[in-house]
Structure 1
């Protein structure tokens, strides 16, 4: 196992006389054994950052270290990493056992050790009864577990996951998230996991890097990122529904945006006056979409509170200890 360090990491693509910079000076220190999720929308640079760690993309500036080694110039095979992709990339003519063992055979690992490693990984991933099957005989979730098993048997210093759950349906995604958590608890290997799905990020991460347009907007625990978003981008990206951001909130501060989570607005007899646009029923909770002035606000309520009528006027009070203020020009958090 090993730590990972990003020092002012930059990525540029050069086309003729033009230069396109897609990663803008990322700095982060990842401790040995941590599970870090890199999250952000499509095109934000999260997979590019991961591929630079893997050695699949050249580093244009700065340094990436794995353990005590700067790996900028090392080939992927020299970095002691294992990668799991969105595409399972299994050999269709090989059995599960042979798919998991293939890299070890190429590395000329002794047969007895190969069997021991594959059997151990199969036990962790509950693949023991499937080792003789071909990939076509497996479900999508089982194929992804084989791909993870192939990475485990290599016993790397670092695991790199590039949106590995994207091809699974919602139920399998939830199940596989639990398996990945269990895997990390058992192996304790430093892991970087890329996703655009904030639910995956919040449930898997010990700490998370939120990327936006090639910049690291925030690096912290899921609780820190959710409770104290560093920028309006993080506030609007993390959370479903996102944080309300109001330019002209009643009692607002000049030059500042007020941020308030939907669950931190309490419907009652005090507070803002709002007109209800629509109500979403989501099982045990409701999302009330309403307007204060010309701005849209979402309020999360529970089923036992009842649903206000569309077009009606209600009052909702923002909790004072859950208000967030942002500089309207920079989008950065103001105050604690």
Structure 2
């Protein structure tokens, strides 16, 4: 069916010694019916990778297979894919029905079949009341649903989404995320979804690919990526706020940070220069004098049910998430930061890869 194999794929622009490589040997196997989110910062190569799957960018090395067929030299129109772009790209002079039906009409699908497919897609996306409206009469969320409907009626093997929610406001994005989840549950079509928004990635993905500078840093379920980040980049990118990362020197059950020895609840996995990671929600604050790391409070943010307390461990920034019902610490105050043994993550200071 719609399984996708991405095998040692490389993308370069230009040729010879001045060639600029933007994708560096990405490998991924995507099962039929799986929903994969490709996430990373702007310029990391995630959209380029998606466009190579779509056939809109040529592959410099490696191969891509869809449903068992290598498609390196196959035209986009023959890959049995449907793509939803960041901009809706709707025809302004056509109605919603005509926009959704246009691709089928060009493919000379029978009129009765077109009407049946559009009706089914409109029902799934709750667009029935708008079929005779023009795009200018629709909200941004409704236009994006029309763009998704246009893809659904194609009945492709694979859906490709290129940051489709970027133009929506926060409330519409949340609503449309739910609609996309329901859509995938109903259709079960293999989907690749590109975003720079980690919240979208965490909420939508069955598995996620974290990209950085053209390389795949990690692939796994959102829970796996969050709980066991493979690199400091993943640890610092996934999570809001991200994982705290402190560089120091491990000496048995001590961790020396900026010349200050900190007691560890358990010995580090090895001695020498390491990076310790701790999620803001896994750290706790106690009164000065209690066991823990000296934590100098700089400021705090009230977020409703919780509060983010920002400060310094040694000379390095650190954030702690606390219950907003607790008394707010004072700026300039020094407290004891307590780190549970089971929640500390360790990374190699040179390679920045996880140490288990």
1:304 corresponding residue in structure 2: 325
Normalised by the length of structure 1, the TM-score is: 0.98
1:74 corresponding residue in structure 2: 74
What secondary structure, in the 3-state scheme, does the structure 1 residue paired with 2:8 have? strand
User: What CA distance in whole angstroms lies between the structure 2 residues aligned with 1:78 and 1:270?
Assistant: 65
What secondary structure, in the 3-state scheme, does the structure 2 residue paired with 1:304 have? coil
What secondary structure, in the 3-state scheme, does the structure 2 residue paired with 1:166 have? coil
User: What CA distance in whole angstroms lies between the structure 2 residues aligned with 1:68 and 1:17?
Assistant: 34
> Which among 274, 299, 302 is matched to residue 256 of structure 1?
274
Q: CA RMSD in A?
A: 1.0
User: What CA distance in whole angstroms lies between the structure 1 residues aligned with 2:291 and 2:116?
Assistant: 66
Unaligned runs of 5+ in 2: 249-256
- Deviates most, 58-67 or 269-278: 269-278
User: What CA distance in whole angstroms lies between the structure 2 residues aligned with 1:155 and 1:174?
Assistant: 25
Deviations 1:19-71 (A, max 9, x none): 00000000110000000000000000000000000000000000101011000
What secondary structure, in the 3-state scheme, does the structure 1 residue paired with 2:229 have? coil
- Deviates most, 248-257 or 149-158: 248-257
Structure 1 runs (4+) greater than 6 angstroms displaced: none
Q: Does 1:10 align with 2:28?
A: no
> Which among 286, 293, 296 is matched to residue 275 of structure 1?
296
Q: CA deviation at 1:16?
A: 7.3
Deviations 1:93-132 (A, max 9, x none): 0000000000000000000000000000000000001000
> Which among 284, 297, 309 is matched to residue 266 of structure 1?
284
1:171 corresponding residue in structure 2: 171
Q: Does 1:285 align with 2:285?
A: no
1:65 corresponding residue in structure 2: 65
What secondary structure, in the 3-state scheme, does the structure 1 residue paired with 2:156 have? coil
Normalised by the length of structure 2, the TM-score is: 0.93
User: What CA distance in whole angstroms lies between the structure 1 residues aligned with 2:272 and 2:18?
Assistant: 41
Deviations 1:199-244 (A, max 9, x none): 0000000000000000000000000000000000000000111110
User: What CA distance in whole angstroms lies between the structure 2 residues aligned with 1:72 and 1:96?
Assistant: 34
1:324 corresponding residue in structure 2: 345
User: What CA distance in whole angstroms lies between the structure 1 residues aligned with 2:102 and 2:189?
Assistant: 21
